Chains A and B, each alone.
Chain A
Amino acid sequence: MEDRSAGARWWVLLPAAPLAGAIGVFGLVFGAAANEQIEFAHAVAMSLLVFSGTLQFATLGLLAGGAGVLAIVVTAITLNLRHVVMGAVLRPHVEGSALRRALLAWFMLDESFGLAISSRRQASAVLLISGALFFVAWQAGTLLGLLGARLVAVEGLAAALFPILFIGLAAATTRGRGGMARAVLAAIFVLTLVQLLPDVHAFVPIAVALAVAMPGPRDR
Chain B
Amino acid sequence: MSWELIALLGAITYGSRALALAIIPPLPARARAVLDRLPPALFAGLAAHSLSLPGAGLAGNEVVVGALGAIAVAPLRSLPLCLVAGAAAYVAYSIVS
Contacts and interface: CB of A to CB of B under 8 A. Distances in A.
Contact of B23 (A51, A98, A157, A212): A98
Interface in B5-31: 5-10, 12-23, 26-27, 31
Interface string A190-220: 1100110010010011101110111010110
Interface residues of B, number: 73
Interface of B (DSSP majority class):
helix
Given A76-B9, A164-B83, A159 B49 contact: no
Given A166-B46, A198-B54, A171 B26 contact: no
A160 B83 contact: no
- Interface-central residue, A45, A159, A186, A218, by most chain B CB under 10 Å: A186
A209 B41 contact: yes
B16 A81 contact: yes
Nearest to B27: A88
A143 interface: no
A61 interface: no
B72 to A, nearest CB: 10
Contacts of B74: 167-168, 170-171
A38 B26 CA distance: 41
B21 A105 contact: yes
Contacts of A219: 37
